[in-house]
Amino acid sequence: MVPRAPFDVTAALDIVAPVCQDVATHGVAALRRLSEKFDHVVPEHLRVPAEALQHALDELDPLVRQAYEIAIERRRVVAQQELGPQQVDVEVATGAVISQKMIPVNRVGLYVPGGRAPLASSVIHNVVPAQVAGVRQIAVTSPPQADFGGLPHPNILAVCALLGVEEVYAVGGSQAVAMFAYGVPDLCRPVDMICGPGNIYVAAAKRYVQGKVGIDSEAGPTEIAIVADDSAIPSHVAADMVSQAEHDPMAGAVLITDSEELAARVDAVIATQAVEARHSERIHEALKGEQSGIVLVRDMEQGLAVADAYAAEHLEIHTRDAEALAQRVTNAGAIFIGTWSPVSLGDYLAGSTHVLPTGGGAKHSSGLNVKSFLRAVHLIRYQRGATDAVAKDVITFAESEDLPSHGNALRVRVEDPEGSRS
């Protein structure tokens, strides 16, 4: 019933493919040319100097720094609990042990948007779980800003300095994704994984290089769904819908309710809040788009079904039995329970991840977390007796698949355990 905003990554591939190939072929020269074309500034340094990072931290407003430090601390505490055991050993039979070892990705590149909003929060929510996972090399890139002498926004640089990230680039758009994927001689080594949100061209570039490198996801327009009954506070619900609409004209804000009175009151409050907001034009465009609206359901059972079908990036629950209803949700990027748990908390310093699946991706994918940066590798240790015990079964299995040489790998061990014959 509620469509998403148009976001055709496939169509954007035709635009980003030449950009990516240009960077792969011409390196620094291409980055400078593309920076001038798309960002209207050519950075003096494509890699941000260490002194610029430190200067940004030194000049950071103390109150802003305090907020950043709380966000970092809480996200790190949660991430450390997400980490879990790094190796699990399972003895499937006597002398037969399978271990699972979690190995971090070696090198990660993080893209941080610098357009409508300098998302310093994205640095925290990507870097902290990567650090906790044990990623050895983390590089950050963000578009150069003409207002800041060709450097990324100083808040982004300050957070990098707070987190100890020293490899930071002033490169934006699909060319930044290409830089990470292919590497640029004398500037940036290729990474193994690219994460971080961006516009449709960044998403398309991530799709284009996927396979050569890993990616976290193709982030689309942000969205919120709110399940609410007549106990909900209209001004709270309205504020949360408006706050999500503030992100982008394509942002989605959806209220799912069984109360006609609440729907009418929220609609009226939204009108007032949107007019008074600093980014009212952007908010109005998002709320008037086909991706936003109010869905009236007959009861909360149907409301839950609608929420699961929509699979929102952010799902808020404002009902009398919010906790119980939240436990029954099957499709959501993150679930915010009760009126005192707004999405804005999660965006910044709740301690949860704010990098979440969009466009219905919550039906099959999780938000970015420590395990996103870990690879599960099995270690297989069978002693002779354990292998002998199942050799006939392996041979039978292999024959059933018409792969007799697979079976022979067991047969030679049974018949010639000491390797006496050639």
pLDDT tens column, 379-392 = 999 999 999 999 99
Report the C-alpha gap between 360 and 365 in whole angstroms: 9
| Rg of the chain taking only CA atoms, in angstroms | 25
Contact 19, 178 (CB under 8 A): yes
| Domains 9-216 and 223-365 are alike in CATH topology | yes
- Residue 111 annotated as binding site: yes
pLDDT tens column, 237-286 = 999 999 999 998 999 999 999 999 999 999 999 999 999 999 999 999 99
- Residue 273 annotated as binding site: no
Let me know if 215 is exposed, middle or buried by CB neighbors in 10 A (0-12, 13-18, 19+): buried
Contact 236, 254 (CB under 8 A): no
Q: Is a pLDDT exceeding 80 seen at residue 227?
A: yes
Q: Is a pLDDT exceeding 70 seen at residue 422?
A: no
User: What type of residue sits at position 392?
Assistant: K
- Residue 66 annotated as binding site: no
What is the CATH T-level fold of the domain 9-216, as seen in this structure? Rossmann fold (3.40.50)
**Domain made up of 223-365: CATH architecture:** 3-Layer(aba) Sandwich (3.40)
Query: What long-range pairs does 239-243 form, CB within 8 A, spacing at least 24?
Result: 239/273, 239/342, 240/316, 240/342, 240/343, 240/344, 241/266, 241/270, 241/287, 241/292, 242/270, 242/273, 242/274, 242/277, 242/283, 242/287, 243/342, 243/343, 243/344
pLDDT tens column, 181-198 = 999 999 999 999 999 998
Q: Which of 71, 46, 79 is nearest to 162 (CA)?
A: 71
Cα atoms in the 13 Å half-sphere on the side-chain side of 251? 23
Catalytic residue among 313, 316, 318, 354: 313
Residues in the chain: 422
- Residue 347 annotated as binding site: yes
- Residue ranges per structural domain of the chain: 9-216, 223-365, 385-415
Residue 369: C-alpha distances to residues 79, 88, 112, 413 (Å): 7, 20, 17, 43
Element (H, E) at 400: helix 384-400
pLDDT tens column, 102-159 = 999 999 999 999 877 788 999 999 999 999 999 999 999 999 999 999 999 999 999 9
- Residue 236 annotated as binding site: no
Report the C-alpha gap between 224 and 335 in whole angstroms: 10
pLDDT at 391: 96
Q: Residue 349 has what DSSP assignment? A: T
Report the C-alpha gap between 137 and 158 in whole angstroms: 18
Catalytic residue among 153, 314, 318, 354: 314
- Residue 314 annotated as binding site: yes
- Residue 199 annotated as binding site: yes
Q: Which of 417, 413, 421 is nearest to 394 (CA)?
A: 413
% of the chain residues with pLDDT over 70: 99
- Residue 314: active-site member: yes
- Residue 387 annotated as binding site: no
The stretch 85-91 carries a mean pLDDT of 90
